[in-house]
Every structure is written in C-alpha cells, then in structure tokens.
Amino acid sequence: RLDWLNGFLAGITLAMAILPEEFPVVLTIFLALGAWRISQKNVLTRRSHAIQALGSTTVLCVDKTGTLTLNQMSVGKIMNGADFFDVSLDTNHLPESFHELVEFSILASQRDPFDPMEKSLKKFGNNTLRETEHIHEDWKLIKEYPLSQELLAMSHVWQSPDGADYIIAAKGAPEAVADLCHMEPHELEQLSRNISQMAGEGLRIIGVARGSFTQKDLPGKQHDFNFQFLGLVGFQDPIRAEVPQAVQECYQAGIRVVMITGDYPGTARNIAQKIGLNQPEMVITGDELDAMDDETLKNRVKDVNIFARMVPEMKLRLVEAFKSNGETVAMTGDGVNDAPALKSAQIGISMGGRGTDVAREASDLVLLEDDFSSIVATVKMGRRIYDNLKKATAYIFAVHVPIIGMSFLPVVFQWPLVLFPVQIVFLELIIDPACSVVFEAEPPEKDVMRRPPRSSSEGLFNRKNIGMSVLQGIVVLIFVLAIYLMGLNWQGEASARTLSYITLIFANLALILTNRSWSRTIYQTLRSPNQALWWVLGGAVLFLAAILYFPPLQQLFKFCPLNLWEILLCLAAGMLSVLWFEVFKWYKNRDSRTG
C-alpha cells in the first residue's frame, strides 16, 4: 500500500497478463503457413477463408472429365449407322464402311488440335487412314461454325483444290447433330438405342455428319445446310487410379461426392460404379433439372449424386439447392460459365491446368493439377489446420489464467509480488512460438478423416472449449499458488517468487504438451514428430538455467538460486497440474474404444 513503484509495475504486469496479444499472431501465421502447406498439395489459396471452411465441407461437387478421369482421350468404339467397330490400341486398319465417319470427324476438328478429344481423333485417323485418300492436308478451311448454347454442334466448311463445291463436316452432341440432319422419328429411336449401348460402356459420345453446298455465299446458320448423319464416335477416358480410394476417404469423413457431367447418364453411371460413388443408379439429367422448380430440386438433391447432360449454367442451381439444405458446398469448375457457381459455393475450386482466367478469379482455391485426390488432400489439410488452431487457442486461454491469477492475487491479498513485466516478457518468449509455430506444425489426428464435418456455425471459441481451457488454467493456478505460499512460509519472498515462477514455467511446458492433442495422452503424442516443439522446450530450459544461475539475470528477475530438490519439486508440481486432463483423455479414449 502506497508503494507507487510496485503498484505501477503490478498494473503493467496485470495488463500484460490479461491482454491476449497472441491471437492476431496465431491467426496470421496459421493462415499464411496453411496456404503454404496447401500449396504443397498442388493447390493455391486465393482467399484465406477457404482454409477454415474446408473442414466443414459436406458436399463435394466435381466435374467428371479431367478431375475424376485423366482427360486422356482415345477412340474406343465407332458406329457408322448400322455396324459397330471396337477399337484397340493396336488398331491400324478399318473396314471401308467406317472410313468416311473417321474422315469427317477429323475435318470437323481443328487442323492443329488442342482439345484432347480432337487430338485423339487426329491420332486415330493418322493410324488408320494414312494410306487412304481420306486425309486432306491440302484442303482449305473456308469457315467455322462454333458451338453455341442453342446448338451443341460445330461445323467446318472446306474446299478442295480441284473442287467447286463446299464440303461441310459437323460433329457435336449426337442429338444436336441428329437435329442438323433432320432425322426421322424411327431413326432417332435407333440412334437413342445405339447411344445407350455405347454410354453403358463408359464412353463419351459425339455424332458426326457431312454435307455439301454449291452456292458461293455461305449461310449464317448450320441448319441451312443439308446434312447426312454418318455415325457415332465413342471415346475412352480412364479414371485416375487414386480416385476410388479418395472417394472412400470422403465417405469416411462424412462428405458426399457429387459428379456433374455433360455426358450421357449411361456414361456417368459406368464411371460412378468404377470410382465407388454411392447410388450410381440414381441420375438427374439436364432436361429433368430444367423441368423442376426450386423446391422439387431441393428435395431431389438430398439423394442423387449423379447429374448428367448438364451445362455449366445449371451448376448454379445445384449449388443453391445444396445450400438451401444446409450443406457446405465445394464446387469445381473451369469455364467462364462456371464462374457464378464457383462464386456461390462456400468453396469454389478452379482448374489451373485447363481453367479460364474468369473461373480462377471467381474461385477460392486453384488446382495446379486437375486431380480429385488433391481436393481430398486439401480438405484433410484444412481439417488439420482448424484442429491445430483450436488447440492453440485453447492453450492461450489456459496459460493466461495462472499468469493473471499470479499477477492479481498478490495485489489483492497484499503478498509480495510474484510477476513483474520482465518476467511476463520471458513467459511470452515461450508462449508466442508455442501457440504459433509448435501447434501449427502438429501432424493431423489419426481420425481427422474419419469423423463428420464440423458445423459451419461452430465457432473457434465455443463454450465447451473455452470452459475446458479455463479449467486447465485454474488447476495450474492452484498448484502454482500452493508452491508460492509454501515458499513464502518456509523461506521468504525471493524463494517464493523463484519457486512459483519456475513452477509456472514447467506448468506452461506441460500445457503445451497436453494440448497437442485432446484425444491422445502426452506419452502418445511424444511419438508424433514435431521439430518445433523440441526447439521451444530446449530454449525454455536453457533460458530457465540462465535466469536461475546467471547473476545479472538472477538480480533482474529478483530470484534466488534453487537446489536440485527444489527444481524437482517445481517440475513435479508443473506436471501434476495437467495430470487430471491426461486422465480425462485416457478415460475418454477408453470409452470410445469400448463403445
């Protein structure tokens, strides 16, 4: 009382003890290093909120081509209107009746193709038609009619060096090409059966047609040509080898995998069965989706995992339907028209390999390799980061309770002061790297992908976690206070201050060790590698020895030397202060195993 200097120091000390300055540091470092760790999985983070949202993902909507499959097309089967022909890797000859089909599928493609489908057509044509008159390197491309939303077919108008007429080659969605050819109802029925047969084998299918035009002024629309339907070409696109395991990992983690594709339902079912997708028999097509109102769609998406014959604009409706059911949606996309869906989803994932700039700008994450397993690995990393962030915040709450108590109680009860600002600074030299670097480097829990996603409404600071953390701190405070009072009664002020502070240091280290996992004991976590932990523990012990036995520091901290038994007493008290939490975790693990 009336000791202005100690009163001023006690006020500063209490302010330093109460102020949780670690939180901004922890959040900044965790998100920055989290983005770096995710980049090691070939995923770039464009918006940091996605790191936190990954752990709550409940629905993963993915494109089929290039994500679930390799996007390495090869011609697997062709149909010339009447007959089928199975293509193998060593096929280098075709029956004459199929030559025109292959010829016009190449003419409808780019001369120097970039698209994997067109590349495979050119390669197939070079292998099978190179010694025939059906390869036209000297033909001149006069005009291109591109794909459009109204007509999913494209046409190329060619002119041969010695010909006066124009030759038109068209390819695209079989129903669009059939529309160009004005096929009769019975022809459409037969075509539908042929498509279903090829789609059932997991093939991507296009239709091919030819036409001619004698006038000099070309029409503005493809429909103004007279086309003859030539047949179908089916492409094989093998699934990625790691996808089935990644899908099962998603199911174990409580995440639905939804496939969205422009292919036919039969193709989608075949791929779904290969990768182990749930309920592959249930499919919603683009036409069916267009016919549904929002409420019907909201109910249907609860059970359906395959959406076929979809166009990019439909993805937005799907995302909104899933979100209206309370799902946290991660959506992949690569095109300009995918941007609204990517923006609407809680986590938009664009393709770095084949994605457009617009899609990347709208997304939160960018896949450098268009690989489904990278998405799953990123979800796992997101869960790990959030888990470790919770451990770090729990540790911060726990360690501040005894510091606040030992700053405040001596003032209230007019005991000799235990903590001064310099001692708080020394504690922060342990606390700051522990809560930021040590906990960030913690490996994932073994069950990180075997538990359901957390609720998107679950906050980082919830009552249960804060309560448990504060309880840890109160128990530590009781032990430290007991050591302080014992030293005060036995040996005086300097000894009491030294004993209680050293106990607080050891208890701090014990809190670091016990909060590394809320499901495993300290003994179990010691077998998990964490190099940063040993640097912090080693540094703490080294500094501890310095302030105890280096006279200038000893005087600065107002300490006195301790003998071995006194240090062991402090160590035992610090470790015993977290023993109850270790027993709690052991009982919890035993109950979960017996359950």
> What is 4-42+376-444+464-594's CATH number?
1.20.1110.10
Across residues 325-351, what is the average pLDDT?
91
The pLDDT, as a whole number, for residue 135 is 85
Residue 13 has pLDDT above 80, yes or no: no
Residue 234 has pLDDT above 90, yes or no: yes
Q: Round to whole Å and give the CA distance between 169 and 344.
A: 39
Amino acid at 344: S
Cβ-based neighbour number of residue 139 at 10 Å: 16
Dihedral of alpha carbons 444, 521, 439, 57, sign: positive
Kindly indicate the confidence band of residue 591, based on its pLDDT and cuts at 50, 70 and 90. Answer: low
The pLDDT, as a whole number, for residue 311 is 87
Residue 593 has pLDDT above 60, yes or no: no
How many CA atoms lie within 13 Å of 515's alpha carbon, on the beta-carbon side? Answer: 34
What would the pLDDT profile of 504-558 be if each residue is shown by its tens digit?
999 999 999 999 998 888 888 888 888 999 999 999 999 899 988 889 988 888 8
The answer to whether the beta carbons of residues 370 and 354 sit under 8 Å apart is yes
Instruction: Considering the domain delimited by 59-70+240-370, tell me its CATH architecture.
Output: 3-Layer(aba) Sandwich (3.40)
Q: For the chain, how long is the longest CA-to-CA vector?
A: 114
Instruction: Considering the domain delimited by 74-236, tell me its CATH architecture.
Output: 3-Layer(aba) Sandwich (3.40)
The answer to whether the beta carbons of residues 363 and 342 sit under 8 Å apart is yes
Across residues 385-407, what is the average pLDDT?
91
- Looking at the chain, the domain(s) classified CATH 3.40.1110.10 span 74-236
> Are β-strands 226-236 and 256-260 bridged in parallel, bridged antiparallel, or unpaired?
unpaired
Token match 């009769």: residue? 184
Residue 4 has pLDDT above 70, yes or no: no
Q: Round to whole Å and give the CA distance between 9 and 501.
A: 17
Residue 6 has pLDDT above 70, yes or no: no
Across residues 197-222, what is the average pLDDT?
90
Across residues 17-40, what is the average pLDDT?
87
The answer to whether the beta carbons of residues 87 and 247 sit under 8 Å apart is no
> Are β-strands 347-351 and 329-333 bridged in parallel, bridged antiparallel, or unpaired?
parallel
Q: Round to whole Å and give the CA distance between 113 and 115.
A: 6
The answer to whether the beta carbons of residues 286 and 309 sit under 8 Å apart is yes
What would the pLDDT profile of 305-323 be if each residue is shown by its tens digit?
999 999 888 999 999 999 9
Structure tokens at 331: 């959506």
The answer to whether the beta carbons of residues 345 and 330 sit under 8 Å apart is yes
Kindly indicate the confidence band of residue 3, based on its pLDDT and cuts at 50, 70 and 90. Answer: low
Q: Round to whole Å and give the CA distance between 46 and 44.
A: 6
The answer to whether the beta carbons of residues 102 and 78 sit under 8 Å apart is yes
Q: Round to whole Å and give the CA distance between 118 and 102.
A: 11
Report which listed range, 128-132, 134-138, 300-304, 430-434, is most confident.
300-304
Q: Round to whole Å and give the CA distance between 210 and 103.
A: 10
Ranges of H-type helices in 334-420:
339-344, 357-362, 372-412
Amino acid at 145: Y
Cβ-based neighbour number of residue 508 at 10 Å: 23
- Looking at the chain, the domain(s) classified CATH 3.40.50.1000 span 59-70+240-370
- Looking at the chain, the domain(s) classified CATH 1.20.1110.10 span 4-42+376-444+464-594
What would the pLDDT profile of 466-483 be if each residue is shown by its tens digit?
899 999 999 999 999 999
The answer to whether the beta carbons of residues 421 and 12 sit under 8 Å apart is yes
Phi-psi map region of 355: left, alpha, beta (phi>0 left; psi -120 to 50 alpha): beta
Kindly indicate the confidence band of residue 169, based on its pLDDT and cuts at 50, 70 and 90. Answer: very high
Task: Report which DSSP code applies to 417.
Answer: P
